[in-house]
Amino acid sequence: MENGGGQSVVGRARQNEPFSPGALVIATLSNPREKFWGMILALAPAGVSLSGIELASFEDLTVMVRDGEPFTPAVVFFAMHRIERVELDLPDGNLPSLSQRFLAKTGLQPSVALAPRTSDPVRDYDAVAPKEYE
């Protein structure tokens, strides 16, 4: 969806709110400690819904996607009490972001690979967003 200036509505939202739906992030969780790479589906006071993978599986995922094997991202909700940190997946100096590495290794945009797999994306977002915080 674009406005008259040619910039998409999602693009404007990302400029104003970096942790909006569609942003690629790395979530660090506690109890148990783990990291998750994915795309934000919803962010609420109760927690965050992501579509993605455990960071430990990143290299295996790139090989699977490159080889054309089927892949369905996990759609998960992490309660706020488990979240230690959520950071945007951005390059760090000369080090590429995970998104850049994924694209280089697979030729596929991470936002395409991590998109929830149903015929109705609006239903996907509604299904993972806690209703009491809307």
| All residues at 6 or more sequence positions from 33 whose CB lies less than 8 Å from its CB, including other chains | none
The model carries a pTM of 0.75
Sheet holding 83-88, edge to edge: 74-79, 47-54, 34-44, 24-29, 83-88
DSSP annotation of 108: S
Architecture of domain 9-133: Roll (2.30)
pLDDT tens track for 2-23: 444 454 444 544 567 889 999 9
Taking residue 49's Cβ as centre, other Cβ atoms within 10 Å add up to 24
The domain limits of the chain are 9-133
Q: What average pLDDT does the segment 101-122 reach?
A: 83
Report CA Rg, the chain. 15
